[in-house]
Amino acid sequence: MRILVLGGAGMIGRRLIDALVASGELAGHGIDAIHSFDVVEGAFDSPLVSSQAGDIADAKTITGLVEGRPDVIFHLASIVSGEAEIDFEKGYRINLDGMQNLLEAIRKAGDDYRPRLVFTSSIAVFGAPFEEPIRDSFFHAPLTSYGTQKAICELLLADYSRKGFVDGVGIRLPTIVVRPGKPNKAASGFFSGIIREPLAGIEAVLPVDDDVRHWVASPAAAVGFLLHAATLDAAALGNRRSLTMPGLSITVGEMIETLREIAGEETAALIRRTPDAAIQKIVAGWPRDFSAERAEAAGFVADPDFAAIVRAHIADERARAAQMNGDAA
């Protein structure tokens, strides 16, 4: 089995590739090769993994990737919400043109080629005013360019799947927390920052009120969603090929209280409340609670609680530090 991961150098992409290498198989088939593609070249230790840097909006490049006829394609590559909102042209070029290039390359690869394509969509496809909880049947009315781009991609995925060009599954990811490393340009980045930075002894900026509620999942859960989406029987989804992943509906205040219970008052005190009107406006248009009945019925599994997410992040950071110390020695 050959696997292509678009966005393989990103945080979730790297974790996905690590999980695939560790397993050595997918859906009962041995993995022969994994190819990572991203805007930067990723570094991987396994001989199973090759890596390439390039532009997903370049049709010739994407055609070249598909010519190898990967059996499963994970499409994680996109620019994040805040950047897509600031740079309108770049958002559509990467997030929409990239998807169109991929689907067209697959369609033109031949009638005998129909790979499983797992596309990472977003809960940003929904816009206020909301029903609560939001079900998969709730109509798409995104209030950001990023959400609009993802919604269009979902429609394209469904149409190309209906026509038999591709076997697509779209998964609307919750906001992923706690993301390791440095902050990115995502408007939702503070949801990770208010946990990650204080745990590292660094002050974190909170731009919204404590009563802001959001839908979140851990990096480990996101990898689990991707792997399950690659193996499930898509026929059970019918023509509605995209579905909202299970997650936790939690307020910022509840997140901070969990941090306080696990790491203490001194750690929680490192959160500095600095209102940001631009971020507040974006967040106000985001959904807060979902019913993930379709996903759960299809076998997708959420995190048990937010404390488990925080403890998993702490364990990951300790393991990363131990590995770095070992490499340095």
Residue-level pLDDT at 283: 83
CATH fit for domain 2-174+218-246+289-303, picks 3.40.50.720, 3.40.50.1980, 2.40.110.10, 3.90.1310.10? 3.40.50.720
Amino acid at residue number 239: N
Residue-level pLDDT at 329: 54
- Helix, strand, coil fractions of the chain, as percent rounded to 5: 45, 20, 35
Q: Name the stretches of the chain with pLDDT < 50.
A: none
Residue-level pLDDT at 156: 98
Tell the residue number behind the tokens 């048990």, with chain if given: 304
Catalytic residue among 92, 113, 146, 160: 146
CB atoms near residue 89 (< 10 Å): 7
Residue-level pLDDT at 328: 60
Residue-level pLDDT at 77: 95
Residue 263: phi and psi, rounded to 5, are -115, -10
Residue-level pLDDT at 327: 67
Distance from the Cα of residue 124 to its chain's centroid = 12
pLDDT digits (tens, 9 = 90+) for 257-288: 999 999 999 999 999 999 999 889 888 877 88
Residue-level pLDDT at 82: 80
Written as one string, the DSSP assignment of 45-86 is --TTEEEEE--TT-HHHHHHHHTT--SEEEE-----HHHHHH
Distance CA 329, CA 325 (A): 6
Virtual torsion, Cα 164, 299, 29, 168, nearest 10 deg: 20
Residue-level pLDDT at 246: 97
Tell the residue number behind the tokens 């560790």, with chain if given: 22
pTM: 0.93
Break the chain into its structural domains and give their ranges: 2-174+218-246+289-303
Strands (E), the chain: 2-6, 25-26, 29-30, 33-38, 49-53, 72-75, 116-122, 167-173, 175-176, 204-206, 213-217, 242-244, 248-251, 271-273
- Is-catalytic flag, 146? yes
